[in-house]
Amino acid sequence: MNKTLPLPIAGQSRRTLEIEVFRYNPDSDQSPHYQTYEVPCEPDWVVLDAINYIKDHLDRSLSYRWSCHMAVCGSCGMMVNGEAVLTCHAFIRDLPDQIRIEPLDNFPVARDLIVDMDSFVEKLIAVKPYLIAAKERSLDEGPYIQSPAELQNFKQYTQCINCLLCYSACPQVSLNVDFAGPAVLALAHRYNLDSRDMGRSVRADVVASNEGIWECSFVGACSEACPKHVDPAAAIQQTKIAATGDYFLHFLTPWKKKHKKSVELSE
């Protein structure tokens, strides 16, 4: 449950910051603008605390997303002084006295600091981010068995929290709105590496398309921006290698209708 921040306690060491916030209400504003607030910040505050202070004590009309305040939910991603960060993970003590807060880059703005995530969700759904089995097991047959080593092959890619910082950092996303993007491709790779999954060829229609892995120029900004230390840049390059192998295998062994890690889905 969201908690209202208390007013700063007198006598404690605190800084008064000038915080410039991106504002835009599509129902009333012809164009975006910035609004400046003076915020007395406690020394242990993060940027999200300052935003909550503005909302609670200075301007109830400010709109933004947040939930856990623990870098787990991924909902509070914003641009802080031009850098894509989780605002619950960006400490005030590490920032100057003037802070500019904006919505994440490379997304349409819904209102103020809230971005429209519909296109991301559509791309996510397109890669079928779930286990695709060759044959569904009944409950009587028990669970799908996986060794610790098999889990380790893809475990880091399960840590993604869909915060979208990688999309704001990626130069290719800014150039091509149809690019599937780092998080989507890393998640597809996660399932392709899973020993229980047989859906690689099905995902290839999206993953290996012009808007998939081949659009990535391997700048690596996505991996640098990730707060959970997932490496989507590596996932994409590994997928390129696998897709290239599949391409040549298709021509060298045309009698093989299926790859050993794929299955046909009935529509």
Please indicate whether residue 245 or residue 21 has the higher confidence score (pLDDT). 21
Total domains in the fold of the chain: 2
Residue-level pLDDT at 259: 46
109-155: per-residue pLDDT in tens? 999 999 999 999 999 999 999 999 888 888 888 888 999 999 999 99
Within 10 angstroms of residue 107's Cβ, the number of other Cβ atoms is 20
Mean pLDDT of the chain: 91
**97 and 136 share a domain?**
no
Output the domain CATH number for residue 28: 3.10.20.30
Q: Specify whether 152 is located in the same domain as 111.
A: no
125 in the same domain as 111: no
Asked whether residue 42 is assigned to any structural domain, the reply reads: yes
Residue 245, Cα to own-chain centre: how many angstroms?
A: 28
Tens of pLDDT along 216-233? 999 999 999 999 999 999
Which positions ≥6 away from 239 have C-beta within 8 Å?
Answer: 185, 188, 189, 192, 207, 208, 213
User: Per the domain annotation, does 262 fall within a domain?
Assistant: no
Q: Which residues contact 173 (CB under 8 A, 6 or more apart)?
A: 106, 167, 179, 181, 182
Domain for residue 7, yes or no? Answer: no
pLDDT at 263: 44
Confidence of residue 80 (pLDDT cuts 50, 70, 90): very high
> What local confidence, expressed as pLDDT, does residue 257 receive?
54
Same domain? 83 vs 124:
no
* Domain ranges, residue 227: 118-252
Single residue among 89, 115, 141 that ends a domain in this structure: 115
Is 266 domain-assigned? no
Residue 125 sits in the same domain as residue 246: yes
Q: What is the pLDDT of residues 9-57, one digit of tens each?
A: 455 578 999 999 999 999 999 999 999 999 999 999 999 999 999 999 9
- Whole-model pTM: value is 0.86
Is residue 267 included in any domain, yes or no?
no
Task: Give the rounded percent of residues in the chain with a pLDDT score beyond 70.
Answer: 89
Q: How far, in Å, CA of 248 to CA of 253, rounded?
A: 8
206 & 188 share domain: yes
